[in-house]
Amino acid sequence: MTLWTSAEIAAATGGTPSADFAVSGVAFDSREIGSGDLFVAMKGAETDGHKFLDGAFARGAAGALVSQDTAHPYVRVADTFAALEDLGRAARARMQGKVIGVTGSVGKTSTKEALFAALDRGARGAVHRSVKSYNNHTGVPLSLARMPRDTRFGVFEMGMSHAGELAHLTTLVRPHIAIVTAIAPAHTEFFPDESAIADAKGEIFRGLEPGGVAIVPYDSPHRDRLIAAATPYAARIVTFGRDAGADVHPVEAMRLANGTFVTARVGERELSFTIAQPGNHWVSNALAVIAAVDAAGGDLGLAGLALGELGGLQGRGERFTATVKGGEALVIDESYNANPASMAATLAVLAHEPGRHVAVLGEMRELGEASDAYHAALAEPVLAAHVETALLVGEKMTPLAEALEGRVDFVHVPDAASALDRLAQMIAPGDAVLVKGSNGVGLSRVVAALAGGV
């Protein structure tokens, strides 16, 4: 199916086409190019995408967006990054369905994926979402540019590490519904306090379309601050949370062997459903999803079914069985990212798993001057999870190591490579192993090793 023609690309970007062509996808990483894609040759601080044009076309690119001539079919523009934003704006302008924006300190990607599944259950093939964690200044316009013109629902994750970033991204997405999942210590290196983080996340409401809906976490200490941020832009504000005062809240939440059974009140109605993913944080995510599906006019019953079928995401709760020493161990892969709130939430999930509890915990980054205190404070969630042995990875884990001394058996190593050497000696059949840390620590390599058998 044609996503863009060269004429449409030229009209959207003000560029000049070298030939007529049509593309079925868009990418700016030549390694991700598939047959029929548009390759956007962007110039970065360290490399220039124009160097990879031949490789992109060898992989099947049908055309390129460039700022210099090439022998391949192209649309030439002055600035390819600006042109990618223009293409994203054009995709958003031609789409006639509902658009939902998702941000928050934790739970963005999980909520986005759950919301996609919930909407897709009732509109198969007509729901589009940003893939992976494409939520920054390049990922958001790319995700928009990939949106088919006949999309009924578009779900876009938006992230930030500095004030002002979301204010721009939300003007590209122009959501009809905007969700803030939660506010927690993340990127605190760049913010004076959590209130400033809440203000930065609240920027998402500035892009709301007329008649738009803001979805806000009721249980957050920053609830009123978020509501104040949404009030000038939202026609309606919907709250979600565990407290009965929330517009969408659980009447009942019963833990199952794998997941949670929830009966939720949605305004004047009740909806019962099962969440396949365990943990209180997933109850919160699911309530946000239900609130958004309701606001978008989706089918709540089908949304509930989708939440019961939802599998774990790689790096964000995926579970698998690893072969260790002739037996099997459960691995919970939370290796993609970490902050104090998400660490505590996933350790709480580990607490309910059968078997001996092993925690492989990588350091949390971008926490600024409070980093030592945040790491030391992880001792209590570790103890509450009944962790019997821990593998701490990274120099910033030193305060946690000191707090656990004499209370939990642990090994402290400098990096992921060292962790690989030690982990095989530490785990045994029947163990439940949680792997979690900031993405830059590289614990995905530990997960990959476990998947291959240790």
- Residues at the binding site are 104-110
3-state secondary structure of 306: helix
Specify whether the CB–CB gap between 15 and 71 falls below 8 A. no
User: Which of 233, 247, 253, 240 has the alpha carbon at shortest distance from 289?
Assistant: 240
Q: Are strands 269-275 and 259-266 parallel, antiparallel or unpaired?
A: antiparallel
> Rounded distance, CA 68 to CA 54, Å?
14
What burial letters (b/e) apply to 202-237, b meaning 16+ CB within 10 Å? Answer: bbbbbbbbeebbbbbbbbbebbebbbebbeebbeeb
Binding residues for ATP: 104-110
Specify whether the CB–CB gap between 261 and 277 falls below 8 A. no
- In degrees and rounded to multiples of 5, residue 30 shows phi and psi of -60, -25
Facing residues of 98 across strands? 153
3-state secondary structure of 389: strand
Beta-strand runs (E) in 225-281: 236-240, 248-256, 259-266, 269-275
Specify whether the CB–CB gap between 141 and 84 falls below 8 A. yes
Distance of CA 344 to the CA centre of its chain: 18
The total number of residues shown for the chain amounts to: 454
- Max CA distance (Å), the chain: 70
> Rounded distance, CA 8 to CA 13, Å?
9
Specify whether the CB–CB gap between 301 and 116 falls below 8 A. no
- In degrees and rounded to multiples of 5, residue 124 shows phi and psi of -55, 125
Q: Strand order of the sheet with strand 327-334?
A: 318-324, 327-334, 432-436, 357-362, 387-393, 409-413
Facing residues of 329 across strands? 322
